[in-house]
Structure 1
Amino acid sequence: MRTTRRWWVPAVAVAVIAAVLPVTPATAQPVSAGPGPVVADGVTQPVFGYADAIRERIFVTSDVDTDADGALDVVAMDIIRPRASEQGLRVPVVMDASPYFSTVCRGNDSECKADLDGDGLNDRWPLFYDNYFVPRGYAVILLDMIGTNNSTGCPVTGGRADNISAPTGIDWLNGRRKGVDAEGNEVVADWHNGRTGMIGKSYDGTLANAAAATGVDGLTTIVPISAISNWYDYSRSNGLVTRANNYSGSLANNVTNPDRRQYCAPVRTQLGQGGDDATGDYNDFWAERDYLPHAGQVKASVFVVHGINDDNVRADHFSKWWYALAEQNVTRKLWLTGTGHIDPFDFRRAEWVRTLHRWFDFWLHGIDNGIMREPAVDVERLPDVWETHADWPLPGSRPTQVFLRPGTDGGPGGLSVRSGPGNRSATFRDTPTMSQATAIRHPSDSSANTENRLVFLSAPLTAPLHISGTPIVRIKASVDGTDTSFAGLLVDYGTRERFSTSGDGIQTRSTEDCWGEAATFGGYAEEGCYRQTVKTVASNPQELVTKGVVDGLNLDSLFVSTPLVPGAKYGVDVPLMPEDYVFETGHQIGVVLLGSYSGYSSRAKQTRSQITVHFDSTRITLPVVGGRQAAVAAGLG
């Protein structure tokens, strides 16, 4: 169990933060005292101008040469900051580092950066961060990842150049690197207070994780939203390739400006070779893109936001990162939503802006506004119904063994905390063409239960059963061939209103609301107004709660593929995606065992092996809040 000691920060921490973080860059010259931020109700107020804000584009040389042209790659940053920072105001930085500013673009409104009047300064500022935070005494930096937009080089999809893009900019902010303007004139950040917070969704949030994992000085907090923590887990799952061949190269191509795609083609070829799609094994290529082993280098606080139903960046990215940070006593906060790959600005807008404001005010301005004495975790239990908790998994969650017991006459088996007969077995055929929807429907259909799946059902629950954490299906199995996959699905059978997975759980409206100040740059109205959204819900007789899959060739090691021995018995652990879910009274818990299936991987194996499950130790370990006693009380006795 993870205790709240890793979350609470005493009130005196404000003074400590100010003491341990550099106040000015090393090369900055002393300046006279100037205006300071105005604080009311525990937060900074919008007392600084936005229309007259200073805009800059700065270029900083990195330590990598991704395109092998003999010149080190250059990182470009667009900066907007209060004009008062020229008169002595020292301001912190909110940084969004991204590969998307000129290609895919950002936010639900798909905003790109743009210099509309050709003066070399950014006029169009995606997202609301600049509109909202600049008037409150922050600088906002939109940093182009190496190989994208105004930065040079070629993208390497999670590799070292990705990882050091933001730290290169942070080094400049803190006087450790030289920065220049478009004319080559040196520029120093003598307006910076030494504290930088990074934020972003998806790839942007991944760059925040990567930067924190380098341990760069001056990165004070990160807010990774739907972010990757291990690129291997993004395109693989326990040895199984889950995305198209050379997905790393394909993504690199998407984020490269069209006029440079041909130039960067050799780098994309190298990405495909390094990723080893032939085996799906873990290697040095993936180790370079795995931030989990470097959690001990993280000095920043971490505010994680993730969708439990995110099928793009799956939920194990947040959970593995969360667990690793906990082991290192990193200060953490978590929002866990029932939606998919969605920014909190689009699933809980007003509360998100309020919370993010207070978080940045505490960590970047040093204002003790009480946010660190509040519960660390917010969980969305039902659409727009939120709970707060001290930690995650929820305190009181205990690994509880629930045994899979054999059925009769082709009917579904049972689930119980008591083990069943140990000399029984059941066989089914690996059927990769079966859809995920088909796999969980009609659990009592005897013709399907032994042909291409095995289904296990609890009795109708006599009390709610709450799970919080990472379930694991543990199978003892033998196979008639040398290769297959092993999959487990956890299902809720019973009709109720649920999160819809259509459109990742939100629908965009035509109405807008505005967040922050407005101005006109380069003839473009930069107003900070965005379309509103609404949650979408569904009511189905069953819901896939969570799922997982393991490659049969990687049961012993992710580094080496080893063929199965036909007929030999194997202990197979299938970790499912993390969950926080309540099965209601009267519903039935279902576990479905499969081989390969297209619902998890676009490259499901086609072996059609016959899999035999042995029931002497086959079970699912559920992280039950209240443990075994709660499971028995709910009817799993």
Structure 2
Amino acid sequence: MGVWNARVRPVTLPPRNAHARPTSAMAAAFIALIALLVAPTTALAAPGGAGAGAGADGTVHGGLSRPDYSYANAIRESVWVDTGFDADSDGRTDRVAADIIRPREPARAGRKIPVIMDASPYFACCGRGNESQRKTYDAQGRPVQFPLFYDNYFVPRGYAVVLVDLAGTNRSDGCADVGGRYDVGSAKAVVDWLNGRATGYSERGGGKKVKAGWTNGKVGMIGKSWDGTIANAVASTGVRGLKTIVPISAISSWYDYYFQQGAALYDGGPQWLSDYVESADAKRKCAAVQQQIVDGSPRNGDWTSFWQERDYTAHADKVRASVLLVHGKQDLNVRTKHFGQWWDRLAANHVERGIRLSQTGHVDPFDFRRGTWVDTLHRWFDHYLLGVRNGVEREPMGSIERTPDHWADSAEWPAAATRTTTVRPRPGAVPGLGTLGLAPAGPGSTESFTDDPKIGEDGWSANVDRPTPAKAAFTTGVLKKDLRLNGSGSVTLTAASSTTSAHLSAVLVDLGPARIRDFAAAGEGIKTLTTKSCWGRSTKGDSACYKDTAADTAKVGYTVFSRGWADLGHYGSGKHGVRLTPGKAYRITVRLAATDHVVPAGHRLALIVAGTDAGLLEPADTKPTVTVYLARSFARLPLVGGSRNVPPSATSPAATGRPLHGLPGPVLKHPLPGSAFLG
């Protein structure tokens, strides 16, 4: 079975990664006794307890590093690394703060160790993880709390953990530039320092030069959201020493965070984010950089040099590191287009990689599949940073959550049997209700809709079998067997607008009852419990215990599982928009976000075409009626089994005026994500 095998292990032996879980005193003693009885003699090298007297080389047994080093006695220090930039124009090059925790025993013995690194703008302003942990320091400024479990779990196993404040945030100099050269360069500089190619200092201003003589230079970057984005970006520089990255819900091109094909997805712009995370010192010094951000990112959706600099997919051919990619299939903050286009470029360049897709929104795997995720991450880092031959690289490439807490492995991703298949919309007996199948529409066939910015995908889907003016819906017949879509698709539309501007939405909908993670709720598919579990070692100032979580589910009558948006005025190269000539037909291909979804037998597949997707897309400056020419429109979908699994088109059902199956969909309860921070 794969890395993400969800089966329960036998309980007669301790877990192979020795997770520390809350137990009663009797249960804890029993587990300790069993561990002593079954442990091989090599694991008994630390008779005074884990870490006390541990050998310099630590213990690797059963393909896993063991917690042989003391967390309480670990070295905790801060180093400021020279970036070579003077973004804040104060006359000296900017230094970024790297807070480090590493086991003391290897340092004494002269053994070199690898690094797990998280570079983030959030360590002071907002915190990391489900409990929003921040860095803390003692009275002398020495680091005390390292957010998240990476330090608690991996330092005892022979790793250093380095948490970097991106330029302009927390204790770093410089200016935040939202994925630009200062952001990326500040993180890359630390990788360079760890490999002896940059200069570090003991103080933010002045101090002694500090070398990272304790590390072997092997670095694995990890992080969620902006942090994971920086991991992608640094990997795209091809920097030597970066051996693996684990981007979680990460951006691959910043343009696609704010726009899709010219259509604005967020209010405000990147200057809002930089202002949100910058330190007070940076706010005083970085007005010029802030203005450059404003000038480079106009809200017209055009592709500028600002966005070009922040498109990491363009440099995927430089990636040397392996990639373990994690994303929520219903992430409406960093949408799944990001992982899809990044994955495709990595695949084209034969990068060693794995992928994990949940039913959640913008959620860390520690909070939707905790035990399995820690086990997977442990084995992944052991292999790529310690060189342990544990076979993780040969296990199934993908693991996908099909229903809440039920996962399926995929030997390859997309699946080997996936074929890009052309399906076509046709008119039905009732205007606005068409069919979807393999046969093309007849010449002159059209469907029309009028943009209503107050209605979005939930309103369209709930009324999929009812003619409404704001959408055109096309449905297949009832499926006789499961239909799996995995990968990225597209919808090509030939359309004319009644006004000089028009936005288009195309969504794929699974029509049928299901229980799903409630990604539209506040927890985006999880609920936080009052109990805690512990993952590693603790100190008074840094606990390894975190609140448990569980799936937050909802019964629904339909599920929107892939989305695409575009401004029709960007029909050409997509780099610059134009005003439309009313009544003139234009052809545009709307790129759908990547997904892996199974439409079960007994359900139907729908393609809905409409205007503004309320709550997710900013409306155009007009409210056009859009006519779609069906004979010159089609969708190309990544179907496992290809066209043979597409059912014959069926006549659209008569209008009922009732919600599908009597169940609503997951109605979005949060505002447009631009009003919240990325993390």
TM-score, length-scaled by structure 1: 0.90
In structure 1, the residue matched to 2:388 is: 367
CA 1:385 to 1:633, structure 2 compared with 1: closer, same or farther past 3 Å? Answer: farther
| 1:238 lines up with 2:254 in the alignment | no
Query: Within 1, Cα distance between the matches of 2:401 and 2:626?
Result: 38
Residue 50 (structure 1) aligned with residue 68 (structure 2)? no
Aligned to 2:296: 274
**Identity percentage over the alignment?**
41
**Structure 2 counterpart of 1:217:** 240
Q: Give the aligned CA root-mean-square deviation in angstroms.
A: 1.7
1:264 counterpart residue number: 286
CA distance in 2, matches of 1:318, 1:443: 29
Amino acid paired to 2:197:
R
Amino acid at match of 1:613: V
Deviations 1:205-243 (A, max 9, x none): 111111111111111111010011100001111111211
Cα deviations by residue, 1:307-346 (Å, 9 ceiling, x for unpaired):
1100010001111111011111111111111111111100
> Within 2, Cα distance between the matches of 1:155 and 1:80?
25
Structure 1 residues 177-326: aligned runs within 5 Å: 177-182=198-203, 184-245=207-268, 247-258=269-280, 260-277=282-299, 279-326=300-347
Q: 1:581-592, aligned counterparts within 5 Å? A: 581-592=597-608
How far has the Cα of 1:397 moved from its partner?
0.9
Aligned residue for 2:524, secondary structure, equals: helix
Matches within 5 A, 1:311-390: 311-390=332-411
Q: CA deviation at 1:632?
A: 4.0
- Tell me the SS of whatever aligns to 2:598: strand
Task: Note closer, same or farther for the CA distance 1:49–1:264 as it changes in structure 2 (3 Å cut).
Answer: same
Letter matched to residue 491 of structure 1: V
Q: Report the AA paired with residue 390 of structure 2.
A: N
Does residue 613 of the first structure (1) align with residue 628 of the second (2)?
A: yes
Q: Which residue of 2 aligns with 1:3?
A: none
Among 465, 474, 483, the alignment partner of 2:501 is 483
2-structure distance, mates of 1:574, 1:190: 51
Alignment-mate amino acid for residue 644 of structure 2 = Q
Contact 2:355 2:398 in 1 (8 A): yes
Is the 8 Å Cα contact of residues 205 and 228 (structure 1) preserved in structure 2?
yes
The one-letter code matched in structure 2 to 1:577 is: A
Residue 269 of structure 1 and its aligned partner are, at CA, apart by 2.7
Query: 1: CA distance between counterparts of 2:530 and 2:536?
Result: 20
1:146 match: 167
Give, as a single letter, the amino acid of the residue that structure 2 aligns with 1:307.
G
* 1:467 is the counterpart of 2:489: no
Q: Give the SS at the match of 1:171.
A: helix
* Structure 2 SS opposite 1:582: strand
Alpha-carbon shift at residue 480 of structure 1 (Å): 2.1
Q: 1:422 corresponds to which residue?
A: 443
Gaps of 5+ in 2: 1-53, 652-679
Does structure 2 conserve the Cα–Cα contact (< 8 Å) formed by 1:163 and 1:214? no
What 5-or-longer segments of structure 1 have no aligned partner? 1-32
Q: Structure 1: how far apart are the matches of 2:271 and 2:85?
A: 19
Give the aligned partner of residue 425 of structure 2. Answer: 404
Equivalent of residue 539 in structure 2, options 519, 527, 530: 519
Residue 593 (structure 2) pairs with residue 593 (structure 1): no
- Between the aligned partners of 1:154 and 1:271, the Cα distance in structure 2 is 11
C-alpha contact 2:500 2:622 (8 A) present in aligned 1? no
Tell me, in whole angstroms, the C-alpha distance in 2 between the residues paired with 1:371 and 1:241: 40
Superposition deviation, residue 34 in structure 1? 7.3
Give the structure 1 partner of residue 582 of structure 2: 566
Q: Give distance in 1, aligned partners of 2:488 and 2:196.
A: 43
Q: 1:461·1:634 contact (CA, 8 Å) conserved in 2?
A: no
Letter paired with 1:291 = Y
Letter aligned with residue 194 of structure 1: G
Distance 1:263 1:186 in 2: 26
Give CA-to-partner distance per residue, 1:548-595, whole Å, 9 cap, x none.
111111110222212222222222211111111111122121111112
Trace 1:91-110 onto structure 2 (pairs within 5 A).
Answer: 91-110=113-132
Contact 1:462 1:633 in 2 (8 A): no
For 2:636, give the aligned amino acid.
T
Contact kept, 8 Å, 1:432 with 1:606, in 2: the verdict is no
Residues 88-127 of structure 1: per-residue CA shift (max 9 Å, x gap): 1211000111111001110111110011x31121011110
Q: Following the alignment from structure 2 to structure 1, what is the Cα–Cα distance between the partners of residues 148 and 142?
A: 17
Given the superposition, is the C-alpha separation of residues 34 and 466 from structure 1 closer, same or farther in structure 2, using an over 3 Å criterion? closer
Q: Which residue of 2 aligns with 1:127?
A: 148
Could you tell me which residue of structure 2 aligns to residue 112 of structure 1? 134
Distance 1:102 1:134 in 2: 22
**Partner of residue 510, structure 2:** 492
CA distance in 1, matches of 2:165, 2:547: 25
Contact 1:508 1:532 in 2 (8 A): yes
In 1, the alpha carbon distance for the partners of 2:562 and 2:293 equals 31
Contact 2:79 2:97 in 1 (8 A): yes
- Contact residue 242 and residue 604 of structure 1 kept, 8 A: no
2:115 is aligned with what amino acid? Answer: V
Contact 2:228–2:246, Cα closer than 8 Å, also in 1 = yes
In 2, Cα distance between the equivalents of 1:374 and 1:516?
A: 26
Deviates more, 1:410-419 or 1:255-264: 255-264
Q: Which moved more, 1:149-158 or 1:495-504?
A: 495-504
Q: Which amino acid aligns with 2:265?
A: T
| Residue 62 of structure 2: aligned partner | 41
- CA separation of 1:97/1:142 partners in 2, compared to 1, >3 Å: closer, same or farther? same
Instruction: Tell me what 1:5 maps to.
Output: none
SS at match of 1:143: strand
The answer for the alignment partner of 1:175 in structure 2 is 196
Instruction: Show the counterpart of 2:663.
Output: none
CA distance in 2, matches of 1:42, 1:633: 51
Helix, strand or coil for the counterpart of 1:214?
coil
Q: TM-score, normalised by structure 2?
A: 0.85
